[in-house]
Structure 1
Amino acid sequence: MLELVQQITNGVAIGSVYVLIALGLTTVFGILGIAHFAHGSVSMFGGYLVYVLVASQGVSLWLAIPVALIVGMGVGGLIEFLAYRPVRNANHINAFIIALGLTMMVEGINLQLFGADQVVIPTGFDRVFEIAGVTIPETRLYVILAATVLVIAMTAFVEGTKTGQAIRAVAQNRDAAILMGVNVRSIPLIVFAMSTMLGVAAGVMVGSLFAIAPGVGEAMVVKGFAVLILGGLGSIPGAIIGGLVLGVTEALAAGFLSSAYKDVIAFVVMIVVLLFRPQGLLGGAK
C-alpha cells in the first residue's frame, strides 16, 4: 500500500508537467483551432535558457525563471504574429504545415544555441521529505506546488478578468465577440503569450526533474496532445485531469511493471478511455 501511494505521488509530479504542457496546447487549440506542434520545442527552449543563466552565467534560479517566463511570452507573441497571423483566414492546412515547420526550426535553433548535450538544471534542492512513510524529493514538491499555483493563476485570469472574458467570448463565438466590441486581433497574441509561458514553466520542470536534450520537446508535445485527447479537446479541466491521469498511470506502470512499458501502458489507458468515452473525460466542458 505504501509503495502504491509512493508511485502515485511520483505520478502527480510528472503529471504536473503534462498538465502545464496540455494547458498551453488546449488554450491555443480550443480558442484558435491551431495544433501548435512547436509548443514542446519552445518549452525546451525555456528550459535551456534557465540552464544557461544558472549554470553558465551564475544567475540565481529564482531570477532566471521569471526571466525565462517573460522571454517565453515574447517568443509566443512573435510566433503568433510572424507565423500564424498571416494564415489566420487561410485553409487550416496552411497553419498545420507552418506548425510542423516551426517544430523543426525551433529544434534546430535549440541545437545551434545550446548544443546536443543532455543538460540538467542545477536547482540545489537536495532535501528529501518524508510524510507518513512516503518520500518526496524537494524538487518534486516544488514542481507540484508551482504547477498548482500556475493552474490557479490561469483559471483566475480566464474566469475573473475582462481579458479572460474576451478570450472565452472569442472561443465561443468569434463573430458575436466582434459585435460586442472585443478586439479579436489582440486575443491570439495574448493566448500565445500565455500558452508559451506555461510551456516554458513545464520546460524548466523537465530540466529540473529529468534532463533536457534534443528530441525531448517533441516527445513532450506528443504527451501533451495525448492529454488533450484524453481530457477532451478544448477543455481546461479535462487537460488538468488528463495530465494527472497520464502521469500517475506512467508512474504505476514504471513502479510495478517496467519503465520500458510505461509509455505503452499510458497510451493503452488513453485508448481504453476513448473507447468508452470518445469525447474524452470532460469533452465539451470549458
Structure 2
Amino acid sequence: MFQSIVSYGLAVGAVYALIGITYNVMYSASRVFSFTAGMLGMLGGVLGALFIHQWGINAVLGFVAVLACGAALGLVTEILTVRPVLKSVEQHLYVLSTLAFALMIQQVTAIEFGTEAQPFPPLLPLDPNLGAGWLDQKLWLPIVACAVTIGGLEFLYRKTLVGRAFLAIAEDSYAARALGLPETQLRMASFALAGVIGTLAGFTGAQMLLAFFGNQSILNFYGFVPVALGGMGSNRGAVIGGLALGLFQQAANFLVGGIFAAVAVFAVFIVVLLLRPEGLAGAAAARRV
C-alpha cells in the first residue's frame, strides 16, 4: 500500500505541478491569472488519444502535434482573452474572458470527442512484464516530464537573454517597455510556452487520468492548489506543492476514500493558506505604512 501511495501520489502530483507551472508562466508575463490551464491539460490527453489511438499516428509525431496544438491555443488565448482585457480599465474581466474561452473549448471537445472517458495508449513499447510498480510508464512519465520542464525553465530564465527578458517583464512591465523590450511579443511567447507545458501535463498523465473532457475542471482546481501552496509565480514552489498535494491526496484516498478525501484536501489547503498566505515557498510582500 505504501508503495502505491508514493508512486501514484508522485505521478499525479507531477501532473498537478505542471498545471501549476502553466498558471505561473501565463501569470508572470501578463499578471493575468488565466483559467485556461486546466483546459490545456485536458486537451493534452484528448488530442493525444485522438492522434495516436484513433488516427494511428506515430507516438512521437502525435506528441509533437499535441505540443504544437498547445502552443497555438496559448497564442489564441493571449490574443482573444488576455490582450483585450489588458487594454481595459476593468482588468479583472480576465476572470470572465479566460473562463468563458475554456468552457467553450470544453463543450466543443465534449461534442466532437464524446462525453465518455477514452483509454490512452501506452507511449513506449516496453515489456508488459515490466509494467508493475515504479517501472509502469504511466507513473514515471509525468515525473520525468515535470523534472525536464522545471530544469528547462531554470536554464531558460537564468542562462538566456530571452529568459531574462521574460523575468524583466514579470518584474516590472513598465520599466521593461521603457528599456525597449517587446512586451507584446514576449507575452505571446510566454503563453505559447504555457500552452506547451499544459498539454505536456495532460499528455503524460493521460494513462492515469484517461482522455476525458471532464478532466478540465479537476486540473483547473488541483493545478491551482500547488500555485497557492507554493506561492504565486514560484515554479519551484509549484513543484513542491504539487508533489505534496499528490501524496496527501492518494494517502487520503486510501485511508478515508471518496468525498472525505476531497474534504481533507480542502481542509489542509485552507489551513496552510491561513498560516502562510504567501505560500510555502513564497516571500511575504512588503507593505508600505
Question: TM-score, normalised to structure 1's length?
Answer: 0.91
- 1:280 equivalent in structure 2: 279
- 2:165 equivalent in structure 1: 166
Cα pair distance change 1:192/1:127, threshold 3 Å:
farther
Residues 212-233 of structure 1 deviation map (CA, whole Å, 9 limit, x = unaligned): 2232111111111122111111
* AA at the equivalent of 1:97: L
Q: How does 1:80-229 map to 2 (within 5 A)?
A: 80-90=78-88, 91-123=90-122, 126-128=128-130, 135-229=134-228
Residues 9-66 of structure 1 deviation map (CA, whole Å, 9 limit, x = unaligned): 2211110000100000012123312121122123212321111111111112222111
* AA at the equivalent of 1:121: F
- 1:234 equivalent in structure 2: 233
C-alpha contact 2:142 2:201 (8 A) present in aligned 1: no
- 2:51 equivalent in structure 1: 53
- How far off its partner does 1:113 sit? 2.3
Q: Which moved more, 1:84-93 or 1:245-254?
A: 84-93
- How far off its partner does 1:270 sit? 1.5
Structure 1 position 27 matched with structure 2 position 25: yes
* AA at the equivalent of 2:210: A
Identity %: 27
- How far off its partner does 1:129 sit? 5.9
SS of match in other structure, 1:185: helix
Cα pair distance change 1:274/1:87, threshold 3 Å:
closer
Residues 119-148 of structure 1 deviation map (CA, whole Å, 9 limit, x = unaligned): 121115645467xxx654232122212221
Question: TM-score, normalised to structure 2's length?
Answer: 0.90
Residues 64-111 of structure 1 deviation map (CA, whole Å, 9 limit, x = unaligned): 111110121011112211222122121222222101211221112212
Structure 2 distance, partners of 1:183, 1:177, is 8
C-alpha contact 1:42 1:106 (8 A) present in aligned 2: no
* AA at the equivalent of 1:248: L
Structure 1 position 43 matched with structure 2 position 41: yes
Structure 1 distance, partners of 2:131, 2:106, is 36
- How far off its partner does 1:284 sit? 3.2
Structure 2 distance, partners of 1:262, 1:204, is 25
Structure 1 distance, partners of 2:79, 2:155, is 26
C-alpha contact 1:75 1:193 (8 A) present in aligned 2: yes
Structure 2 distance, partners of 1:161, 1:21, is 24
Structure 1 distance, partners of 2:92, 2:274, is 28
C-alpha contact 1:234 1:284 (8 A) present in aligned 2: no
Q: Which moved more, 1:42-51 or 1:120-129?
A: 120-129
* AA at the equivalent of 2:159: G
Residues 174-200 of structure 1 deviation map (CA, whole Å, 9 limit, x = unaligned): 111112221111111011111111110
Aligned residues: 280
> What is the root-mean-square deviation in Å for CA atoms of aligned residues?
1.9
* AA at the equivalent of 1:262: A
- How far off its partner does 1:205 sit? 2.6
Structure 2 distance, partners of 1:38, 1:71, is 14
- How far off its partner does 1:259 sit? 4.4
- 1:4 equivalent in structure 2: 2
C-alpha contact 2:24 2:233 (8 A) present in aligned 1: yes
Structure 2 distance, partners of 1:30, 1:284, is 16
C-alpha contact 1:127 1:138 (8 A) present in aligned 2: no
Structure 2 distance, partners of 1:30, 1:263, is 29
SS of match in other structure, 2:183: coil
